[in-house]
Amino acid sequence: MVDAPPDEAIQTFPQILVTDTCAVWNVLCSRTLTNAARGKQRYFVLADYVRYECLFKPRRTASNMEKGLQGQLRDQLADSRCFSVYQLEIEDLLELVRVVDSPRRFDKGELAALALAMKLRKGFLTDDRAAKKIGEKVIGANFVRTTPHLVGWLVFVGQLSDGDIPGIIRDNKAFRGEKAHLGDFFEKCYEHALGLLLRERTT
């Protein structure tokens, strides 16, 4: 059900990643994951529109957990711990539209994140399949990662241990629900990281 990630996605990880809205929440919903990423000096940059989607876009209802994550994000942005915001220019969005087929199939947050990643030539963090695919096309596969890749890489470099993974999956499931959580993907990248470590030790 879950494709094995390429070795490079687990063995290397960009230090600075432009992050779309869904990936912001998938990182922040686990304090263990957020702290581990910060411990390895990984930084997440938000286009201004992504900040708007996360913090100011009107919602019919917001769960207590979502409100708590918004508070975490505000704290992170206030002192630039590992999240920061970058302003886009209209020319940056027009450049993306010129190279993306059917831009309307992406939401505005994904388009803003893609445009900013193109502008800055930094990593791009997304958990949307279509956004990942177009990111690999316009930025390059070496620059595109997912939150499960982040988990796998942090295991590979020793920042996360075996015991951390169940908690990260529980946190994501509590936020995303039974049908939309990334648990299978986290487990696959965790197992891939262990396989790479075993290969290193036996060669």
For the stretch 84-138, pLDDT in tens is: 999 999 899 888 888 777 666 778 899 999 999 999 999 999 999 989 999 999 8
Q: Domain 7-147 maps to which CATH number in 3.40.50.1010, 3.40.50.10440, 3.10.20.600, 3.40.50.720?
A: 3.40.50.1010
- The answer to whether the CB of 151 falls within 8 A of the CB of 15 is no
How many CA atoms within 13 Å lie on the side-chain side of 2? 16
pTM exceeds cut of 0.75: yes
In three-state secondary structure terms, 17 is strand
pLDDT at 150 over 80: yes
pLDDT at residue 1, rounded to an integer: 36
- Report the sign of the C-alpha dihedral through residues 81, 20, 69, 166, in that order: negative
Q: How far is it, in rounded angstroms, from Cα 21 to Cα 4? A: 24
Rounded alpha-carbon distances, angstroms, from residue 153 to 2, 42, 48, 109: 17, 11, 27, 25
pLDDT for residue 104: 66
Exposure string for 164-174, b = 16+ CB within 10 A, e = fewer: bbeebbebbbe
Domain map of the chain by residue range? 7-147
- Which two tokens mark 150? 């982040």
User: What is the helix (H) or strand (E) element at residue 46, kind and residue range?
Assistant: strand 43-47
Q: Is the dihedral of CA 136, 138, 142, 143 positive or negative?
A: negative
